[in-house]
Amino acid sequence: MEIRIGIVQSMKELSIELPEGADRDAVEKDVEAALEGEKLLWLTDRKGRRVGVPASRVAYVEFSTVTERSVGFGTA
């Protein structure tokens, strides 16, 4: 599962790939709890890296379950 987080007053967004089998509902609840409490949102990616985002700076959160990515040139 991939999560994209937009940051207020920033042109970039964070893209975090969570481990396979991550519970989407649990992650959504963690995001909501952090946003309600003005806390720091912590997520751990597939490689074990922890990312902390100040909840007050979050503009949007997008969840995606698409796992395939195309690399290189392809024909349609």
Report the candidate in 44, 62, 60 with the shortest Cα–Cα distance to residue 52. 44
User: What is the distance between the terminal CA atoms of the chain, rounded to a whole angstrom?
Assistant: 26
Residue 11 lies in a domain: yes
Q: Is residue 70 part of a domain?
A: no
Percent of the chain's residues with pLDDT above 90: 8
Q: How much is the pLDDT for 75?
A: 61
Q: Does residue 74 form part of some domain? A: no
Residue 45 lies in a domain: yes
Q: What is the mean pLDDT of residues 2-17?
A: 88
Q: In the 8-state DSSP scheme, what is residue 31?
A: H
Q: Which of 10-14, 27-31, 62-66, 68-72 has the lowest mean pLDDT?
A: 68-72
Does the residue 40 lie in any domain? yes
* Pair of tokens at residue 57: 């700076």
Q: Per-residue confidence at 64, pLDDT binned at 50, 70, 90?
A: confident
Check residues 43 and 70 and name the one with the higher pLDDT: 43
- Which domain, by its residues, includes 60? 2-64
For tokens 């997008």, the residue is: 62
| Number of independent structural domains in the chain | 1
